[in-house]
Amino acid sequence: MNAEKQEVLQGTLDLMILKTLHALGPQHGFGIARRIEQVSEDVLMLNEGTVYTSLLRLHQRGWIAAKWGVSENNRRARYYSITRSGLNQLAVETESWERFSGVVARVLSLQGEK
């Protein structure tokens, strides 16, 4: 992979959003996106449309709640928080991701023929 910013692997954004909300508490969409990019040390590139699509999906599934508030810039913003159902889903998705990434790690560690 090159040093340029990378797109998020499909299926991982929901997990990262749930984890961000669990770790940081209520956040607005822009703040969630910037925090994930920051934690990735700017390796990931998050399209705001993609983030908001994920937030809508998570909200429809009942894994996050949303309410209006005021941002740091004194602008009206929708703040998202993880729900009890979202915490359960976070645990399920975390276990699944750890299992999957473990398989990938084992495959990548295979040695070639000598």
Residue 13 token pair: 């954004």
Predicted confidence (pLDDT) at residue 110 exceeds the cutoff of 50: yes
**Predicted local confidence at residue 38, as pLDDT:** 94
5-40 tens-digit pLDDT: 656 666 799 999 999 999 999 999 999 999 999 999
Tell me the β-bridge partners of 70. 76
The CATH topology of domain 13-108 is Arc Repressor Mutant, subunit A (1.10.10)
Predicted confidence (pLDDT) at residue 2 exceeds the cutoff of 50: no
Largest CA distance in the chain: 64
58-79 tens-digit pLDDT: 999 999 999 999 988 899 999 9
**Predicted local confidence at residue 1, as pLDDT:** 43
pTM of the entire predicted model: 0.86
